[in-house]
Chains A and B, each alone.
Chain A
Amino acid sequence: MPVDTEKEISKMHKTLHSTQNEIGKTYYRWRQVAIEFAGEDTKPLDVALRAAEVFGKDIGKSLLPRMNWLKGEEGFLMILARSLAGLWNTEGGMAIVEKGENPGEIFIKCTRDPWPTWAKEYGAPMEEVALCRERMYQAILEDVGFFMNVPLKIELQKAISRGEGETVMKLYKTE
């Protein structure tokens, strides 16, 4: 039977989007469980930030085999930034990497992010989405920075979930 390319691609596309959607929703279902177990004395934001930290730590470990200093500091930062942007894209976002004006400064810009939509669906605050992204990336950088012996920082400058149209994060080397 000949292959109907359009049908095959659209089938895969739908599967990809369903998978991304299901992963996002699964996160919020687990978030609900974690908040219930944490009890009333624990702030939901603290639970979410702790989860972001755990995710970041683990993702950081998985990035280590790919870290490479052979292309120098700038090359290393670029590979790292692309990995962080790639992570967002895998989740269903649209993120790109741009060099900053100063050396050792890179911006990760996300213009489409599914996380606020999921958060809204499950009643999670928008600010939590922004802070969790920042915390997760900080946790990633902790291990990566120490591993490569480069002090790294990442800061959230704008966030879609704050109604600022895009999410912008600045990755840079500290002195």
Chain B
Amino acid sequence: MAKTLFEWDYSDYPGAKTYPHLFKPIQIGNLMVPNRIKYAATEDNLNGHDGFVTDAGVEYMRQRAIGVVGGLCFMQGVYMDEKRQGQGYVGQAAAWDDKFIPGLKRIAEAIHEQKAVAGFQLMDCGRVGAVEVDYCHGPSAVPQRLRIFKPVEEMTNADVKTVVQQHIDAAKRGIEAGFDIMEISGIVGYLISNFISSYTNRRTDEYGGDIRGRMQAVVEIIQGVKEACGPDIPVGIRLCSEELLDDVRGNTPEESMETYKIAEEAGADYISCTLGWQESIYPVISRDIPMGNWIHLAKRAKAHVNIPIQMAYRLFKPGLPNEKIGAGELDIWEICRSMIADPHMPKKVAEGREEEIRHCVACNLCLARLFRDAPMTCYINPVCAHEWQEEFANPKPAEEEKEVMIVGAGPAGLECAYTAARRGHEVHVYDKRDVIGGTLNEAKNAPYGDDELWTCVEYQQAMCKQAGVNFHLGTEVTDDLIEEEMPDAVVLATGPVYSKIEAPGGDGDKIVNLLDVMNGKVEVGETVVMYGNRKPGIGGALHLAKQGKKVTIVGKEKSAGFDVNPSFKWRYMIYMRQNGITVYNDCDIEEVTDEGVIVRSYDGVRWPVKCDTVVISDRGPNESLKKTVQSEGIELFVIGDALIPRNLSSAVHDGYRIGIRL
């Protein structure tokens, strides 16, 4: 009889009626899990650089444990070797010695306190490891494609056996720490996947050769860990269903499915279906990939094995996983980034509070931070990784209730509004537009998934409603209005001011601003120069190119999209190329002529670019109203693009930080 750790009854949860398949129990090995929800192991760089668990790491996990409402909650993968070749992230937790057990135990307990199933993951990062040492290890010393990774040392036969034992020993430590389910990570270029792939495994001993040979180390690890875990602790494995490495002669999809069968034969109790490597040239999880794009791979996996299949990858909303589980094409809905953005996301689904979910916008800032040795952060969730700081995560009610005037109903203003209102302030949001959302109303029209950014506003709207924020839409705030209302505090979230072209002809008829273009207020000719090579300029250029316009970007930054995080920027570079957009970086417009513009590079070279329209996307801070507020002695804050034009993330983070300060 399968063991049940915690009793959960979802009959009173409205979400369990809407999504019945998500809240059905499932047996994994000899463990009965009350629902089909899993917070998948995600690195967060929140632990000590010596591998010890920290308060930040524990509280981060506690919030995710609350979120899974009794489901599976996996802590990040631990590295298992003292030499630290398997360590892929500076703040990765370790389990190479018993001294780490007390810290790991804190995480298991935090998860158990929420009546969730605590998952432990074993993760040797292989060729993407060695973040703190000079050489990583792998089955063969295949050179790195990406320079950010360390050179690979080929493992000896004895090294392979040592790594197998390290997995077993670390699993034992996980069990001693109190974890209920074990997982072996074999994805995205980590050691297990290095052994499996024909791209990285050129060995001629028993750990190389055909797919069975390349799986040999994995089989030994699964069998060893199974034995260590005994019958009551299930052992699963994350495996690539498609490596997306055909350009470097990686495994075929058929070989990948063979690995699933071999893992099942070796005793795996479930498989987490993944795809792509960090070295893959194909996008997998960025916003330009439609939701549910990869779900067919779970169905294919299920056709090859009889153990439960779990999957994440652009499944941000409950509808599709619920449907696929119901159809028998998936068993467990894995969630990573969606629970970074909103740790309580599935709980809100269960409680029928979906409008209160802060949705991930698939920007991959979280990944970009990890690769740059920075602690986890979230583009859209200011509290992420600050869960342990009580005053930041759960700010106290205001000591003095104030009347707060927020000028601007964009993401910065809205975030500030509900945060301040929750703390007891009387908050009034003004906007000269008739609608909320600020410049995101236009930005969401950019192609390649930017419409998803709007979910941020939807969430903020729901929060404002709940917190009792007062809206005055269609009302432009003037000096007179401020003097009339005399609020206790004013927050200027007015958005940016579009720059001007400080050059002859810079005030001509062919010059328009990006907002007017994106909302269709102005006509744009067939040939366009986009002035500004930051994110708004790129989004606008792609929007116009999709309409068949010939677009040239001219911008002062040394590289286009320098304000876009690197995990997403490469996508834009490809899209600009595909859409025939010419980009002149490190350049300015010297003159606007009847025929177009004259571009001047940083070193003085000049050339003409023909165009019918010049669109200004560069922006500057908005100084309006500041003097009036200051002269009246009113407490003043400036946030978002009004302070310094940046991005949605900065707007949200600014808004929250001022909301808790007011």
Instruction: Show the binding face of A for B, using Cβ within 8 Å.
Output: 1-3, 5, 8, 11-12, 15, 60-62, 64-65, 67-70, 143, 146-149
Contacts and interface: CB of A to CB of B under 8 A. Distances in A.
B248 A69 contact: yes
Interface string B110-153: 00000000000000000000000000000001111111000000
B249 A8 contact: no
25 contacts: A1-B591, A1-B598, A2-B598, A3-B598, A3-B607, A3-B608, A15-B603, A60-B143, A61-B144, A64-B143, A64-B144, A65-B146, A67-B145, A67-B247, A67-B248, A68-B247, A68-B248, A69-B246, A69-B247, A69-B249, A70-B247, A147-B145, A148-B249, A149-B199, A149-B202
Interface string B235-250: 0000000000011110
B606 interface: yes
Given A149-B198, A149-B202, 10 more contacts: A1-B598, A8-B607, A11-B605, A67-B145, A68-B248, A68-B281, A70-B247, A147-B145, A147-B248, A148-B249
B608 A149 contact: no
A147 B247 contact: no
A153 B143 CA distance: 18
Contacts of A11: 605
Nearest to A68: B247
B639 to A, nearest CB: 39
Interface in B176-205: 198-199, 202
B606 A143 contact: no
A8 B603 CA distance: 11
Nearest to B279: A65
Contacts of A65: 145-146
Contacts, number: 50
Nearest to A60: B143
Contacts of A64: 143-145
A5 B144 CA distance: 44
Interface string B575-605: 0000000000000000100000010000101
Given A3-B607, A149-B249, A61 B147 contact: yes
A143 B248 CA distance: 13
A8 B608 CA distance: 11
Given A8-B607, A149-B202, A143 B247 contact: no
Contact of A70 (B202, B246, B603, B606): B246
Contacts of A5: 607
Contacts of B198: 149
Given A8-B606, A68-B247, A148-B249, A143 B143 contact: yes
A143 B199 CA distance: 14
A67 B245 CA distance: 12
Contacts of B598: 1-3
Interface in B12-66: none
A9 B318 CA distance: 58
B390 to A, nearest CB: 45
Nearest to B250: A69
Contacts of A147: 142-143, 145, 248
Contacts of B607: 3, 5, 8
A15 B605 CA distance: 11
A67 B603 CA distance: 33
A3 B606 contact: yes
A73 to B, nearest CB: 10
Interface in B274-304: 281
Nearest to B249: A69
A3 to B, nearest CB: 5
B247 A61 contact: no
A143 B591 CA distance: 48
Given A1-B591, A11-B605, A149-B249, A61 B143 contact: yes
A62 B145 CA distance: 8
B28 to A, nearest CB: 38
Q: Please give me the 8 A-B residue pairs with the lowest Cβ-Cβ distance, nearest first.
A: A143-B143, A68-B247, A64-B145, A147-B143, A70-B247, A3-B608, A69-B249, A3-B606
Interface string B599-632: 0000101111000000000000000000000000
B277 to A, nearest CB: 13
Contact of B143 (A2, A8, A69, A146): A146
Contacts of B142: 146-147
Contacts of B202: 149
Interface in B404-425: none
Interface in B196-236: 198-199, 202
